[in-house]
Every structure is written in structure tokens, then in C-alpha cells.
A and B are shown apart, each in its own frame.
Chain A
Amino acid sequence: MSDFETDLTSNDKELQEFLMMEKQKAQVNAQIHEFNEICWEKCIGKPSAKLDSATETCLSNCVDRFIDTSLLITQRFAQILQKHDM
């Protein structure tokens, strides 16, 4: 009986870890969808036969600068909150 119980909890733990991993992957995936949407609008003109290298550069710069912007705004925003709250 107690064997069965420990078995069950180790299975539950495995499931919990699995779900946490999958959740994390899903969050990264959702983020990719969001970046792709934003950067598609910024970088893609008329769809052509191939992504040219200028467009590729634009897309990857777009992702990195978007993340930089988001970090910068988060920092600045936190500073502003601190100044006004205290």
C-alpha cells in the first residue's frame, strides 16, 4: 500500500515537472508569435520569392531591439514609480 503511495507521488511529480516545462515552452512560443507579428509589420514589404538578406537583418534586429526597448521601458518605469511613490 505504501509502495503504491510513493509510486503515485513520484508519478505526480513527474507530471508536474512535465507540465511546467510544457508551459514554459508554450510561453516562449507565444512570445515568438508576438515578435513575429510585430517584426513582420516592420520589415516585410511585398512578399517575394525569398526573404532577402536586408529583410533578414531587419527581422533579427527588430527582435533584439524590441527586447531592449521592453527592458529599458521596464527599468525606466520602475524608476519613475520609485520616485513618485516615496
Chain B
Amino acid sequence: MAATAPAAENVELMSQVKQQIALANAQEMLSKMTEKCFKKCIHKPGKTLDASEQRCISQCMDRFMDSWNLVSRTYGNRLQRDHYKGAADMAD
């Protein structure tokens, strides 16, 4: 399955689809992050977001992305492992 250059007529549509998907991913990430970090950092909503809450939120965002990346890597490894295992089982 070598990747060949897409037909000229398809290039535009494909890049639009990719863009829409990237946008949807970013929105999903944003909404999950907001929900989780609000829960972690804002215990008793006050009159403003105070400095320590703001600090907590920015740390929480960074850790959330770390966590997402680690989960993604772990799941990727798992998929690969199970895929090879499945192929080996079939060969038996």
C-alpha cells in the first residue's frame, strides 16, 4: 500500500476533510480539558479566578495533554501488540 499522490480533483476535498477533523479534535480536546480542569482546580467558585486557581488551570492543561499523549502511545502499542498477536494466532 504505497502512498501515491492523490488525484488533482481530490486534493481540495481531502484537505478540507482533514481540516474539519482536526478542528473537531481540537474542540473535543478543549471541552474535555475545560471540564476536567474546572473540576480539579475550582473547588469553591469565588468572585474572580484567583492567581492560584489560574496557576492550577494552566498546570492542569499541560498535564492533561501529557496524559493524552501517554494514553495515545499506550493504546497505539496495545493495538500493534494485539494486531501481531492476532496475525500469529491466525498463522497457527
A-B CB contacts (within 8 Å), total count: 88
* With known contacts A18-B6, A33-B32, A51–B64 Cβ distance under 8 A: no
* With known contacts A40-B36, A63-B75, A18–B70 Cβ distance under 8 A: no
Where chain B touches its partner, the secondary structure class is helix
Interface size on A, residues (CB 8 A): 33
* B72 interface contact, C-beta 8 A: yes
CA distance A83 to B72 in the complex (A): 37
Q: Which residues on A are within 8 Å of B, measured CB to CB? A: 10-11, 14-15, 18-19, 22, 25-26, 28-33, 35-37, 39-40, 43-44, 46-49, 51, 56, 59-60, 63-64, 67
